[in-house]
Amino acid sequence: MLLIRHGQTPSNVLGALDTAAPGAGLTALGQTQAQAVPTALAAERIAGIYVSGLVRTHLTAEPLAAVTGLTPRAHEGLNEIAAGAFEMRRDPEAVHAYVDCAERWARGELDVTLPGGESGHEFRHRYEQALRAVALNHPEDATVAVVSHGAAIRVYAAIALAHDPAAVENRSLNNTGMVTLEGHLDSGFALRDWVEHPVGGAHLTGDTEHDVTADPDAAPQGVSA
């Protein structure tokens, strides 16, 4: 399973907690990152493409869909971790609260909830339900591309790989970075690869100073990284 983060959005550049539908589109760089995905994945035999309910994942998947002839299927369970009351904020208070919540979920503290948001248990349930729906459409050994979101992918990978915490510790995930998991929801996952930079090449990495859903060490607006 290829978990691919969407291309760069204006909200990523600004450091805004943009998690609700429909969400922002892609920047010019984000479009270039998306265009580079099919070539980067040319060696993969992709059986299906899946996206979240947010427009940026649909736009990111379009070039891969055009090359493979596959129609992306949307699952809202693949959406970003909801910012709740902090939606579209980019100040230190909001960003630190969001990042702290995500880091605690990644450590297994799933009872934690953001104001107006979801708990870690709710996030895990809806993300796994979406992945289970994906799995039902393909043989167990099939390779599927799932275009999702920075915090959601990083946190879910940490939850799924709790048996191997060193594999995910302090990992970032830039736009069109990719986490490759092998296995199954019922039997467990192993980490095959974690590409922190864009799959099309590190030269496509944009301004990540305030990209707070990609990197827990990114700085909120007004705070130097």
Number of domains in the chain: 1
Catalytic residue among 58, 80, 149, 210: 80
Residue 52 has pLDDT above 90, yes or no: yes
Phi-psi group of 152: left, alpha or beta (phi > 0 → left; psi -120 to 50 → alpha; rest → beta): alpha
At 95-131, the pLDDT tens digits run: 999 999 999 999 999 999 999 999 999 999 999 999 9
What pTM did the predictor assign? 0.95
Position with higher pLDDT, 214 vs 136 = 136
CATH of the domain at 190: 3.40.50.1240
Is 222 within a domain?
Answer: no
Q: Would you say residue 223 lies in a domain?
A: no
* Measured distance CA(82)–CA(132) in Å, rounded: 21
Spatial strand order of the sheet with 178-184 comes to 73-74, 46-51, 143-148, 2-5, 178-184, 188-195
**225 in a structural domain:** no
The answer to whether residue 69 sits within a structural domain is yes
Secondary structure class of 169 (helix, strand, coil)? coil
Judge whether 31 lies within some domain: yes
Cα–Cα distance between 5 and 3 in angstroms, integer? Answer: 7
Specify the length of the chain in residues.
225
Question: Is 219 a member of any domain?
Answer: no
What pLDDT, on the 0 to 100 scale, is given for residue 170? 83
**Residue ranges with strand state E in the chain:** 2-5, 46-51, 73-74, 143-148, 178-184, 188-195
Inside any domain, residue 125: yes
Indicate whether 26 belongs to any domain: yes
Asked if residue 149 lies in contact with residue 6, where contact means CB atoms within 8 angstroms, the answer is yes
Active site residue 80: yes
pLDDT digits 0-9 by tens, 127-148: 999 999 999 999 989 999 999 9
The CA distances from residue 75 to 42, 52, 117, in Å, are 24, 5, 19
Note down the domain range covering 69: 2-204
Flag whether pLDDT at 224 surpasses 70. no
147-183 pLDDT per residue, tens: 999 999 999 999 999 988 888 888 999 999 999 999 9
First and final CA of the chain: distance in angstroms? Answer: 33
